[in-house]
Structure 1
């Protein structure tokens, strides 16, 4: 069993209520600092308080997403968003000011604190008192997405399915059943398109106000600063989109043509993209959620005993909720528990191959959480998404040779690996579309819902539009963006998946060439947390932080060559 780290500053039994927190914040604000040693102790004490708050918030979020029907769990989450965060925000700003104005700040080890201090100065630059109530409202409003989508279900035959469970039928060989499942899923989503449009319009308006208050023309430019994107610009993102369109889309179009030919179809419909072209039944890598966890522990152990032990610790401590059920929020995540030093994995398994890849993806995040657990300051663990997603996406590929624990014959292994490599390439155009769409949304803040749908189609089509015929389902195509949780809940967190996907291919390439060295470089990079720049972390992993057309082409050709071997 694992337990929270022993507290040295705040009381072990501190209940997270504002009347208990305010004296602690006041002590940190008022404490005299007379040496660099006292400043570092002050930083450690502040870090301990922030870790306690983070873990408390984590559990409120986890419990709410595990059961979106519970009013009590929703209120517990909203209490933190409305009563704790708005009151801690001004204090955090005061503490940042105290730090940067300290006469000893320049005596701190630059190699150790450079990244941290850079982030503190950026937070000070962006802080506006008038944005606190807006950010509270945004926090509450965006959770409504999960309430709306978590309640969606469909009836097929005499059974009720969550949308994740129904999506598993899209892999079946019965085309009539696939079409029925797709049409019912789509109709159910479209049933709430008005609600989701209304919710998003409100979120967009609130976010735009935040940006204006902070002195920016639009929310896109504000978020590039707020997310700490010190290493690239919006223009770099557009060039990355173009590289994906040029280098990846043709490969996927070629694959779509092969799919159409193999299935004997004149055109591919949206319900034809997930079925295996050999005519075989969908892969079944595990029986149920418990089996998925056990097999994943074995898979990780076969790569490296340390990796398997991390998942075993999580299982022993009840840190998984993996099976899909009605009332559970959609999607999947790995949520770090700042004081415990372990994470919680949440997902919606419907016993499909996709669930296997979700598990190893979130398992990569989990390993990252453990590797950074003992870094001195809580902020040192707050990795940018370009690094966090490198951890997870690399694990998807590194683990492939050990998928024998899920499949008992070589043919299924080859199918699974080939499907995974196609998915790796398919990730990139979708990332480009979602990212470019968000650039459009927030640089055109006065758009209507109809204009938004038109913009989505204009952006989606050049990237292949899923390489299917949407002519009979224009509404479904125009509203596909509503499936993407990130657009509602974590705006602009998406291009990182593309950058990390390239990095993951490069990590895997190194691993294939020298497994021991490749794995060690990957783990060494993750151990850094966010104590180095993104570029330095990638270099520690033995790869480049590069998304130029030439690099995209090089790595795409490597994936294509690996696919041909299968």
Structure 2
């Protein structure tokens, strides 16, 4: 396959990897110095494993219809990952049973020890077989969705390619694009619903094996969400309904007037008014990279150099094509010391934002790559997404690189700020939908669709008229790969978005200080709590009702200043 990652281990020879684990397990540890050296070598082994597993995952995502990529990926899921999980649990037990751990620098190792204790409490050997099946089902999801294409005026196009038409000034064009996309997913609804049915039962069984009431509680423990609770998420949803949803409805009503339509339909939400063209910040892939590099050079030459190096090393797969999985992500490669960006660009403003967002992750990975403990480089998603969402906003002053006219630049900034308001309610819909699914694991597919629709009505906008197309709305969750592949990964976007707005507010007041705080926070990795990481960034880990109200007031003022 590709050569952007380094395979230091023979993944086709599991016994060699097992021997490396056994060597660590059989070592006698008699001093703190030995223990710290042992932990360093343990991290190096996990780095080598992560590099190979991540490389194989990227290969499969880049070409999900490739038999060889699929075979390598499935071999990892069925053979390598179960092996790693078992030995990781044994290594955790060895560490926790070692008296020398009590002599480690507690200020530095406190969170490391807490994490190891948490992992031991959660681990169950019988769950490994369930996780193999869980991975198989997630892979099946990508096989179904990665192959979806539509006929656009006689030409076969991916769903990413036709997404740009949903911004068209011609209403019929927008409707056609949305209809084709929605019906493509509906053609796979039966298969995807069956996958979800199986996933829910598997995941519930995992939770019960770990003596937990439901999978929601299991995932909160697995994600080490020590800083907030499920009840906090419900309160956050209510605060957003109260202080953000009305703003979203106001923005959509203004947009409806701009479009001059009597009824605001789902294919209108991204459309531009007559006489305008959708924002087009670049026309080809290399232009996207070059212009982004120019932006990063104005912030920090280290950022620019990172993007350029990744491009030279073929670590940017940015454009859409048939057989490529949907979505976008950044994946760290700890041995290579770089990251890989995967996305499906179709030359839109959102594509520009996606690259800037994913580069925030890459920059984060770069700042923590020299942390010796791999555990401290595995940051919670609430801080990982803070890095990426902040980067979207910190680059706004340099967007003239992409937009030559003042009018387009203003539109781009308005879209970004409005996008924050538009996202937050929907983000809570996705989060609360997952809470409901796993609190009520015996529901049917029909009940699932109905609940998603109800949550949209409660938390999201009531301006959009879905009449006659309710099925599109209630099944739109099928597009959200997180629900299938990384369950409960969505609240982090909401929390981090609120943090990113705080970062942007500070940046507007003192750009140099805000950027310095940003770098400082990124360099901490997972060695500190979320509260401490946010404090290092110069902001608060706070999603209280008062904070949300204040931040929305700030965003409204920023939007008013752009009028």
Shared fold per TM-score greater than 0.5: yes
Deviations 1:111-162 (A, max 9, x none): 1111111111100000111101101111121111111111111112122211
Deviations 1:341-360 (A, max 9, x none): 11000000001111000010
TM-aligned CA deviation for residue 465 of structure 1: 4.5
Report what 1:9 is aligned to. none
Q: 1:293 aligns with which of 282, 289, 294?
A: 289
TM-aligned CA deviation for residue 104 of structure 1: 0.4
**Contact 1:303 / 1:402 at 8 angstroms: preserved in 2?**
no
Segments of 5+ residues of structure 2 without an aligned counterpart are none
Deviations 1:207-226 (A, max 9, x none): 11100100011100111111
**2:261 aligned with 1:265:** yes
Q: 2:383 aligns with which of 384, 387, 402?
A: 387
**Contact 1:393 / 1:500 at 8 angstroms: preserved in 2?**
yes
Matched positions, count: 559
Segments of 5+ residues of structure 1 without an aligned counterpart are 6-11
TM-aligned CA deviation for residue 466 of structure 1: 6.9
Summarize the alignment of residues 323-402 of structure 1 with structure 2, pairs less than 5 Å apart.
Answer: 323-402=319-398
**Contact 1:361 / 1:395 at 8 angstroms: preserved in 2?**
yes
TM-aligned CA deviation for residue 279 of structure 1: 3.7
**Contact 2:394 / 2:504 at 8 angstroms: preserved in 1?**
yes
In 1: Cα distance, 2:134 partner to 2:192 partner: 15
Report what 2:10 is aligned to. 15
In 1: Cα distance, 2:540 partner to 2:73 partner: 40
TM-aligned CA deviation for residue 51 of structure 1: 0.4
* Two-structure CA RMSD over aligned residues (Å): 1.3
In 2: Cα distance, 1:314 partner to 1:14 partner: 23
In 1: Cα distance, 2:358 partner to 2:173 partner: 31
Report what 1:8 is aligned to. none
Summarize the alignment of residues 10-409 of structure 1 with structure 2, pairs less than 5 Å apart.
Answer: 13-16=8-11, 17-277=13-273, 279-409=275-405
In 2: Cα distance, 1:24 partner to 1:303 partner: 42
**Contact 2:60 / 2:73 at 8 angstroms: preserved in 1?**
yes
**Contact 1:322 / 1:349 at 8 angstroms: preserved in 2?**
yes
Q: 1:519 aligns with which of 512, 515, 518?
A: 515
**Contact 1:96 / 1:124 at 8 angstroms: preserved in 2?**
yes
TM-aligned CA deviation for residue 278 of structure 1: 6.3
In 1: Cα distance, 2:33 partner to 2:117 partner: 21
TM-aligned CA deviation for residue 545 of structure 1: 0.3
TM-aligned CA deviation for residue 91 of structure 1: 1.3
Deviates more, 1:315-324 or 1:135-144: 135-144
TM-aligned CA deviation for residue 31 of structure 1: 0.4
In 2: Cα distance, 1:385 partner to 1:425 partner: 21
**Contact 1:435 / 1:495 at 8 angstroms: preserved in 2?**
yes
**Contact 1:248 / 1:429 at 8 angstroms: preserved in 2?**
yes
Deviations 1:308-356 (A, max 9, x none): 1111111111110000111100000000001111100000000111100
TM-aligned CA deviation for residue 3 of structure 1: 9.5
Report what 2:497 is aligned to. 501
**Contact 2:9 / 2:49 at 8 angstroms: preserved in 1?**
no
In 1: Cα distance, 2:56 partner to 2:360 partner: 23
Residues 173, 3 of structure 1: CA spacing in aligned structure 2 closer, same or farther, 3 A cutoff? closer
**Contact 2:426 / 2:460 at 8 angstroms: preserved in 1?**
no
Report what 1:549 is aligned to. 545
Report what 2:430 is aligned to. 434
**Contact 2:4 / 2:313 at 8 angstroms: preserved in 1?**
no
In 2: Cα distance, 1:103 partner to 1:500 partner: 38
In 1: Cα distance, 2:55 partner to 2:391 partner: 26
TM-score between both structures, scaled by the size of structure 2? 0.98
Residues 386, 466 of structure 1: CA spacing in aligned structure 2 closer, same or farther, 3 A cutoff? farther
Report what 2:464 is aligned to. 468
Report what 2:406 is aligned to. 410
In 2: Cα distance, 1:388 partner to 1:46 partner: 23
TM-score between both structures, scaled by the size of structure 1? 0.97
Residues 408, 49 of structure 1: CA spacing in aligned structure 2 closer, same or farther, 3 A cutoff? same
TM-aligned CA deviation for residue 236 of structure 1: 0.3
**Contact 2:170 / 2:274 at 8 angstroms: preserved in 1?**
no
SS at 2:395's partner residue? Answer: helix
TM-aligned CA deviation for residue 467 of structure 1: 3.4
In 2: Cα distance, 1:115 partner to 1:277 partner: 52
SS at 2:95's partner residue? Answer: helix
Residues 467, 22 of structure 1: CA spacing in aligned structure 2 closer, same or farther, 3 A cutoff? same
